[in-house]
Structure 1
Amino acid sequence: MAESMKGLKRTHRCTEISTANIGETVTLMGWVQKSRNKGGIIFVDLRDRSGIVQLIFENGSIDAKGFEKATKLRSEFVIAVTGVVEARSGAVNNNLKTGEIEVRANGLRILAEAETPPFPIEENSKTKEDLRLKYRFLDLRRPDIQRNLMMRSQVTTLIRQFMANEGFLEIETPMLTKSTPEGARDYLVPSRIHPGNFYALPQSPQLFKQLLMCSGYDRYIQIARCFRDEDLRADRQPEFTQIDMELSFVDVDDVIDVNERLLAYLFKQVLDVDVKLPIQRMTWQDAMDRFGSDKPDLRFGMELQNVSEVVRGCEFAVFKNALEAGGTVRGINAKGQGSMPRKKIDKLVEFAKDYGAKGLAYIAIHEDGTVKSSFAKFMTEDEMNRLVEAMDGQAGDLLLFAADKNKVVWDVLGALRLELARQMNLLDSSEYRFVWITEFPLLEWSDEENRFKAMHHPFTMPMEEDLQYIDSDPGRVRAKAYDIVLNGTEIGGGSVRIHQDDIQEKMFEVLGFTKEKAYEQFGFLLTAFKYGVPPHAGLAYGLDRLVMLMAKQESIRDVIAFPKVKDASCLMTEAPNLVDEKQLEELGIAIRSEE
């Protein structure tokens, strides 16, 4: 039977006691991790969010009724225990923070009994994720998940403190907003009072934070909930959290400066890691050419080499056709992998095909200097030698080549470089390599829509010196945009915003918006801009991703209390679900069944 606390007060959390408390009487409350009955003495590990402490129940130090109750304790029972802190009678347990002490119980209350949980509550659980997420309330009791969420709480607290000291104001923006189709798909909320009309949940507070700059708030910060109805991706969540900021009267360097100091402060306070400032900067073009990615992982080399000129004029059709179609031939050198079995190389070829490659060409240089290649018969000896030399190929190396349009070659070799690094154990999770990627293209061409689309959003400022190309060669225009990348993951991005009417109108024109369409979608912002708008810029971090990397986790689901799974459903609450017919009637909504 569960008992009440009856005025009993907890004096400490489990690991808040130490050898300094020996001889003191304490009251602890928490969950039974495990119980071992040795006859006249019962050992119980008590767990709360701080950790574990050992309790001892022994006839004599606790009355017979209390000892009888102690024999009934099972895993996950919730108990309150009063007792005296003693030096541990057995061997010291160095794996526990409280390994030098134990608590000799003289009072016990069972506050709640528990059924046997469907999986053990333990660190690094081997239980299938689907089962853990169905019983997420139990999964959240695991000490490693609790540490992750405590770290997340610490990170948000430190961000608020740091930004307040830098003069930022925390201002909340609306959750029910207007749908703006530029960008990802919106989650829509039907309005009962305005039949047939819908709110959208915000994908980001972008327009509102720009309005706050128009309103003179100067420096804004918000830990903002955002929503995107995106297609299925393993590590995407339909709702996520941004650390969102905007600053007035600034340029690129000002935004980068405050954020570098913020990151250095966070990593020092939370992880005792020194982030070397200033953080390295790299242009988008440089990142793509060297790493095949605008979020390069700099913890290892294996950079891409452009060998287009070296192989120009050769008779190997794959290279020849790619170059004639205006593409490139590039390669990477997997050092020391020259003896990789053919089966494994074939697997890499299949991997490359997932990223759009038609195949992969390779040269394996064995330790004795002999060369095995998939295309040697189409090249002269001199051409092969020149190619190996251009790739710095040594005995024992494996050279891999992709030939296609630039975008395909970058995608393929960028992904292959990471896959090889994983196979070769080159990724050290205790190393934190930051890099700013700058000078993104302002626009990217969409084959689907047959028009240019904004790479970030329509309010991103072009680089002044590139404005001359906006009509003649829009793809050449670079943006005053910047991403902060950590260990190959983009953790944040932002840009300087357009604050001049003529440039904003030109941007809409290039994106194929008529003036009417621009006003229909963004009228409130464009109207605000007529009343005096300061130069402004901003940045937003993905809080989930940042904490995931700080906590050395593989998935953002491990740093979110109640995450959704890949198809955007919640296994625990079974959301989304059907709603009452009456609710739908009130909203004027009918569900049409597909034929």
Structure 2
Amino acid sequence: MHPYRSHTCADLNKAHVGDNVRLAGWVHRVRDHGGVLFIDLRDHYGITQVLADSDSPAFKDLEKVRAEWVVSIDGRVKARDASLVNAKIPTGEIEVYAQGLRVLGEAGELPLPVFGEPDYPEETRLTYRFLDLRRDTLHKNMMLRSNVVRSIRNRMWNAGFNEFQTPIITASSPEGARDFLVPSRLHPGKFYALPQAPQQFKQLIMVAGFDRYFQIAPCFRDEDPRADRSPTDFYQLDVEMSFVEQEDVFAAVQPVIQGLFEEFGEGKTVDADWPRIAYKDSMLWYGSDKPDLRNPIKMQVVSEHFRGSGFAIFAKLLENEGTEIRAIPAPTGGSRKFCDRMNAFAQQQGLPGMGYIFWRKGDDGALSEDIQNALSSMLDVVPLLEEAARRPAFDQSKIAAARVLVDEAVSLCLNGLESAEAIAKASIEAKAAMLREAATAIDQGDLGRGKLLIAAVTSKLEAAGPLAKNIGPERTEAIRLQLGLGEGDAAFFLGGKPEQFEAVAGRARNEIGRELGLTDENSFRFAWIVDFPMYEKDPETGKIDFSHNP
């Protein structure tokens, strides 16, 4: 028998019952049930339960064993009782009755427990990294990374690519971040640089005539810590191809990425349709050049609805060159509580907040029957106005008749109101004013505005929120129609120069999608972001620089 083990801790099953075996690994957990010891023995492959009672020759030695000791155990495989089978592990149908123990390494009190994976400060976890990596979650992550790298290599080799390694110690070249420098021993005062990417070396390979190159390459970049940046180094799939166009690159790379997610996506669906989205559209719609397309929300520019409006902050903002107002639709998000929560989220991201509007059912149902009938008679003007708007068959008499009908209906409504129905009075006067404006707009040939005013009057919805009060029903209805929203929906608004708020808008879009359950967490959806800008102007220095790596 092998001096350390005859099987791994994931090998044994019912077919081994009665066999004498030797296992080696770490003591994961010890349970003392009063004269009966149960030890979960763990190695790289899995866990096996070891049993010892007072009749076992190894019992007294096993009583001394503690968590994370490294041991080798001899024993006989037994079948578990049906009621004690653990279906969660491959060895759950058996256990090993211990007959001998060899301690390979003792462990003192642990600064970081491995079993159970309780939360611990990151500093402690990094100090005792070897213990942290024994935890099941990190162990699985390490194995996942290894398997992904192996799968990438196989897929690239099968696609006709060749793998070449490039030098790590090199000269500095312009890239997207600061270099890590290494002093030269042979040339005092001069420095090598660690490569931010194998850019020049892989180009040498292509010039030398190698047709398809790939490398899982280390990249060293001295960057400020951010959620989407590594502060020191990372690995990337680096690819070069000769005599190809953009479509050839897409055709080569897409099967690799899609296949990886199908293989390791744990059953989540992978959308085979990869849309092409222009960079400027991606930033406009999603606030990011790497959008989460599982979230259906698309942002839209709504500047015209706020230009010259009663909401002075946005109206004044739009007087500055290069500014705009952008809306983030939030289907089903139409509650003040949710809107306030998202406003607080924006403040956490460093903005003063987000304006919002939400739409709810109008309160006409609270009016008396007489008032509702009178209000209904006022809306009889709508067909006249709609007919008048059908140019070129424009009829001036229909406009005049519509104005008369509106005035008569308003008079009828207001004469029947009690003093307690002041809200109803305001609502009726507002609707009447919009109908008169609609008649004027149609008369002047502005059919779009006329139809919009009619839609605002006939809508059964009421816009609420601080913005709605300032910009009025005509503008809120125009926003609702543009965004395709309805009862129970909301919209959030951010304004300024796009580069100043786009990133936060993108994060807000993602947060809204998650909060409202709009994001499909059981799928992966990819896209090609195309037409990236080559250059951009630094807002502080005015200098023209590369938008991405040169």
* Same topology, TM > 0.5: yes
Q: Does the Cα contact within 8 Å between 2:355 and 2:466 map onto a contact in 1?
A: yes
Residue 306 of structure 1 aligns with which residue? 301
The more displaced of 359-368 and 138-147 is: 359-368
Q: Is the 8 A contact 1:263 1:275 kept in 2?
A: no
Match of 1:438 among 519, 530, 537: 530
User: Which of 357, 381, 387 is the equivalent residue of 2:473?
Assistant: 381
1:330-345 paired onto structure 2 within 5 Å: 330-341=326-337, 343-345=340-342
Task: Report the count of equivalent residues.
Answer: 447
The aligned amino acid for 2:130 is: F
Q: CA deviation at 1:328?
A: 1.7
SS of 1:16's equivalent in the other structure is coil
Shift of 1:13: 1.4
Separation in 2, partners of 1:383, 1:216: 62
What residue in structure 2 maps to residue 80 of structure 1? 72
- The Cα shift of 1:128 comes to 2.2
- Cα shift at 1:271: 3.9
- Structure 2 equivalent of residue 151 of structure 1: 144
Return the structure number with greater helix share.
2
1:501-540 aligned within 5 A: none
CA deviations 1:395-447 (Å, max 9, x no partner) are 22221111212323433321211122333344454421212111111211112
Residues 383 and 166 (structure 1), Cα distance of their counterparts in 2 relative to 1, 3 Å cut: closer
What is the aligned-residue identity percentage?
A: 41
Structure 2 residue identity aligned to 1:58: D
Superposition deviation, residue 377 in structure 1: 4.3
- Paired residue secondary structure (2:270): coil
Task: Decide whether the 8 Å contact of 2:334 with 2:490 is kept in 1.
Answer: yes
1:327 is aligned to: 323
Contact 2:295-2:510 at 8 Å conserved across structures: no
Q: Give the deviation of 1:195 after TM superposition.
A: 0.6
Question: For 1:59 and 1:34, how far apart are their aligned partners in 2?
Answer: 19
Is residue 236 of structure 2 the alignment partner of residue 242 of structure 1? Answer: yes
Distance 1:76 1:20 in 2: 29
d(CA) in 2 for partners of 1:24 and 1:293?
60
Deviations 1:54-77 (A, max 9, x none): 0012344x42xx221111111111
Name the counterpart of 1:495: none
Q: Give the secondary-structure state (helix, strand or coil) at the position aligned to 1:263.
A: helix
Post-superposition offset of 1:209? 0.8
User: d(CA) in 2 for partners of 1:39 and 1:317?
Assistant: 77
Q: Structure 2 unaligned runs (5+)? A: 363-460
Matched letter for residue 244 of structure 1: D
Quickly say closer, same or farther: Cα 1:145–1:84, change in 2 above 3 A: same
Q: Give 1 or 2 for the bigger CA radius of gyration.
A: 2
Tell me the equivalent position of 1:17.
12
TM-score, structure 2 normalization? 0.76
Q: Which residue of 2 aligns with 1:68?
A: 60
Cα-to-partner distance string for 1:246-298 (whole Å, 9 max, x where unaligned): 11111111111111111233233334656343423222122122212211111
What's 1:45 paired with? 40
Q: Is contact 1:330-1:409 (8 Å) kept?
A: no
Q: Distance in 2 between matches of 1:115 and 1:428?
A: 46
**In structure 1, what is the Cα distance between the partners aligned to 2:29 and 2:206?**
56
State the partner residue of 1:219: 212
- C-alpha separation between the residues in 2 aligned to 1:302 and 1:14? 48
Which residue type is aligned with residue 344 of structure 1? R
The correspondence of residues 107-506 of structure 1 with structure 2, limited to 5 A, is 107-122=100-115, 124-234=117-227, 236-271=230-265, 273=267, 275-325=270-320, 326-341=322-337, 343-351=340-348, 354=350, 357=351, 359-366=353-360, 369-458=461-550
Cα distance in structure 2, aligned partners of 1:127 and 1:457: 38
CA contact (8 A) 1:338 1:367 kept: no
C-alpha separation between the residues in 1 aligned to 2:285 and 2:501?
Answer: 12
**Paired amino acid for 2:548:** H
8 Å Cα contact 2:25-2:70 kept in structure 1 = yes
Q: Secondary structure at the match of 1:28?
A: strand
Shift of 1:107: 1.8
Output the TM-score relative to the length of structure 1: 0.71
Secondary structure of 2:186's partner? coil
DSSP 3-state at the match of 1:105:
strand
> Is the Cα–Cα contact under 8 Å of residues 32 and 44 in structure 1 kept in the other structure?
yes
SS of corresponding position for 1:240: strand
Mapped partners of 2:499, 2:194: distance in 1 = 33
- 2:390 is matched with which residue? none
Decide whether the 8 Å contact of 1:402 with 1:412 is kept in 2. Answer: no
Amino acid of the structure 1 residue aligned with 2:281: D
SS of the residue aligned with 1:159?
helix
SS in structure 2 at match of 1:363: strand
| Range 153-162 or range 122-131, more displaced | 122-131
Q: State how far apart, in whole Å, the 1-side matches of 2:32 and 2:16 are.
A: 26
